[in-house]
Chains A and B, each alone.
Chain A
Amino acid sequence: MSKLILYGDQLSQPTRAILFILLNNKIPHEFKTISIAKGEQNTEEFAKINPWKKVPVIQDGDLTLIESHTILRYIAQKYKLDQLYSNTDLIERCKVDMYLDWHHIGLRKPASTVFYFTFVAPLFGIPVNQELLASESKNLQTSLSKFESIWLGDKKFIVGDKATLADFASFTEISNLRLISNDYFDLSKYPKIDKWIKQFETMDGYQESHNIFNIVLAKKQ
């Protein structure tokens, strides 16, 4: 069996979600850093691996997959990680899929736009589109409220007592917002999300997959 190769940047939320799951489940893999800040995803060499010039990407022998949720589903099914995404129960898979499908426009669109304009843009001197920031910032508050009250509700994790692919995908997206100002992300308003986030920090694989993230976060504080 060939070893999985994950190409990504540990400052990318979807890359961290995959790396965290691989480490948490002790799946043998090799991690190759493609630095987004250095533009390494745009090189001709990388375009041969992924014509979309995006990370994350995995290679498993001859198979190359893009899109983090596809990669997460693949790993969970190939290695039979049934508590993350059931191999045997269609309805259990659907419960995870509903969140994963909602995530893109429901959460990631506002979260990544607000992150870009309040963290990335100032760092690189990129002008901020204030109108867009204002509307996505409003959407982000709506998304977080729905995440708190509907997706989490009174459960420990999105689908129930155990973390699934849905939780890993949303954890890295939401915890990423700690890098931005409290004006845009105030965890004291979302006690259930706050409690849910803390559950991940003691899990196997958290430290290694969040090493670089935590260094950047420490600089902010």
Chain B
Amino acid sequence: MASKLILYGDMMSQPVRAVRFMLLNHKIPHVFKAVKIASLEHLSDEYKRMYDQSKYIYIYLSNQSIEIKLTLLNCIYCSNPLHLIPALQDGDLTLVESHTIMRYIAQKYKLDQLYSTTDLIQRCKVDMYLDWHHLGLRKASTMVFFSKFVAPRIGRAVNQAALDMEIMNLQTSLSKFESIWLGDKKFIVGDRPTLADYSAFTEISNLRFVPVEFFDLSKFPKIDAWLKRFESFDGYEESHLIFKKVLSKL
């Protein structure tokens, strides 16, 4: 384990926060390199100021256009042709996709309570949520977040038909998250948080940016209690620094 992990990402991205939060929580040595999502640039002065002080490259949310601001980080793009963040480098290995990155870290560092290296069925319980997450929650939550928070601040048009559908889907997703994934358990798989919880936590807590009519925690008391459990965890403050500053300006 000669090399140190390098995580590339933007702390305003939910999957990046999930990876960073688990790294910090488990005190895994790593270097964090900021890669800025350009469409979030005009989000707030606070966000802009924090990033203008750090070294960054631009990455656009749209599919094709990438403008590399600092060629310093060029290497990551040779091995990351999809231009996705988060990206993780560990020596010669480059990984994308946050769930893959989290599974890798948990297995490499034997963080068995997050994702068991010895028990296939325990892994499957985590995998079920992680696989459901993409289309079950994230498709709806990112659409609502983008349309209700990002788009109006950057003057971007919204696909109203798709938005109406995803607003409805989001309520269904949250109800199912509350009643089926959480149910009467403390965390998704049981008494302790797993990778599934970290991924879901950053996605759901991100909805604090959207108006309460689209994300009303008083309707989801179990989700509310579950969210609060994370806020006293080691690594929460550091991984949510920018998130909280942007939130406090609302």
Contacts and interface: CB of A to CB of B under 8 A. Distances in A.
A213 B81 CA distance: 34
Interface stretch (A104-112, A176-184, A192-200): A104-112
Contacts of B162: 129, 131-132, 135
B135 interface: yes
A83 interface: no
A74 interface: yes
Interface in A82-102: 90-91, 93-94, 97-98, 100-102
A66 B128 CA distance: 6
Contacts, number: 87
A157 B132 CA distance: 25
Contacts of A219: none
A98 B95 contact: yes
B46 to A, nearest CB: 29
Nearest to B160: A131
A105 B120 contact: no
Interface in B194-228: none
B134 to A, nearest CB: 3
A70 B124 contact: yes
A102 B97 contact: yes
B82 A146 contact: yes
A142 interface: yes
Interface string B81-105: 1101000000001011111100110
A91 B88 CA distance: 13
B109 to A, nearest CB: 11
B55 interface: no
A104 B142 CA distance: 14
Contact of B134 (A94, A101, A139): A101
A154 B180 CA distance: 43
B138 interface: yes
Given A105-B138, A109-B139, A146-B82, A94 B95 contact: yes
A66 to B, nearest CB: 6
Contacts of A132: 159, 161-162, 165
Count class of interface residues, chain A: 20 to 34
A59 to B, nearest CB: 13
Most B Cβ at <10 Å: residue of A51, A94, A101, A132: A101
B107 A142 contact: no
Contacts of B165: 129, 132
Contact of B93 (A91, A100, A109, A146): A91
A65 B124 contact: yes
B116 to A, nearest CB: 12
Main secondary structure of the interface of A (DSSP, over half): helix
Given A132-B162, A146-B82, A70 B131 contact: yes
A121 to B, nearest CB: 14
A67 interface: yes
Contact of B161 (A51, A77, A108, A129): A129
Contacts of A94: 93, 95, 100, 103-104
Most A Cβ at <10 Å: residue of B96, B99, B134, B165: B134
A70 B127 contact: yes
A101 B138 CA distance: 12
B168 to A, nearest CB: 13
Contacts of A66: 128, 132
Interface string A55-91: 0000000010111111001100110000000000011
B134 A104 contact: yes
Nearest to A145: B63
Interface in B106-163: 107-108, 120-121, 123-124, 127-128, 130-132, 134-135, 138-139, 159-162
16 contacts: A52-B180, A68-B131, A73-B124, A94-B93, A97-B99, A97-B100, A97-B104, A98-B96, A101-B99, A101-B100, A105-B139, A129-B161, A132-B162, A135-B159, A135-B162, A146-B82
Given A101-B97, A104-B135, 10 more contacts: A70-B128, A73-B127, A74-B124, A74-B127, A94-B93, A98-B95, A102-B82, A104-B131, A105-B138, A108-B135
